[in-house]
Amino acid sequence: MSKKTLYIIRHGQTEQNRQKMVQGSGVNSNLNDYGRQQAQAFYEYYHDVPFDKIYTSELKRTHQTVMPFINQGICWEKHSGFNEMSWGHREGRPITPKDDEEYYATLEAWKSGEIDRRFDGGESPLEMTERQRVALNHVMSYPEEKNVLICMHGRAMRSFMCLLAGISVSNMYQFSHGNTALYQVEFDTESLHFQFIKKNDITHLNRLNNPNPEFNLYQKVTI
């Protein structure tokens, strides 16, 4: 039986993550010190996996997270389909009470199926899913790549997991993940079915002294 395995991780922590600021696709932030420790911990735990290809978003926080693997000489490709959701006017600034009111109203709209709704200047879940579908089709078009590492972003990963599970993006709240959390997903090329092997796995972080554990492992708003 032929299988293709996707190892999908969220990027390491940034200062904007730590401060609970909105980054989205418009803020090209770097990993902070703890984010670099997370990235190294993931590498040390998974460096023996024979990855055939690495895919990241176009944003450098994903590049930095998987750079230890890239430095091994593994083929690397950036794809805009793996970029974070664009949050429009909310990006790059502290969240105000008015922002919170708008945010939670929009979340409820998404949950109720209004997946074409967006913030001013931003992107809707439907638009994000469609560009992710293009990226997924691209990844799957290379059957010779049996083990693939994908590094992307928090909200984008929620949407991507829905795509792999074959459910509406309005269900993205089923998926919660902190920085460098892993989803391992197998694709059976005979049944054409994705099977989740690991979900939100952070075993590799167990030995780290997390300076902000309640935020890294679970956050009410994953952005």
- What averages of pLDDT result for each successive group of 10 residues across the chain (223 residues)? 90 93 93 97 98 98 98 98 94 81 92 95 96 97 96 97 97 95 92 92 87 42 31
Residue 211's pLDDT is: 55
Angle at 109 between CA 106 and CA 113, to 5 degrees: 140
Displacement of CA 204 from its chain's centroid (Å): 17
Residue 1's pLDDT is: 53
Residue 20's pLDDT is: 84
Residue 209's pLDDT is: 67
Residue 94's pLDDT is: 76
Residue 37's pLDDT is: 97
Q: pLDDT tens digit string along 83-120?
A: 999 999 889 887 778 878 888 999 999 999 999 999 99
Residue 103's pLDDT is: 87
Q: For 34-40+60-196+214-223, give the CATH class.
A: alpha beta
- Which residues, at least 6 apart from 55, have a Cβ–Cβ distance to it below 8 Å? 76, 77, 78, 79, 82, 135, 139, 148, 149, 150, 151
Phi, psi of 152 (to 5 degrees): -145, -145
Residue 117's pLDDT is: 96
Query: Global pTM?
Result: 0.91
Phi, psi of 25 (to 5 degrees): -85, -10
Residue 59's pLDDT is: 98
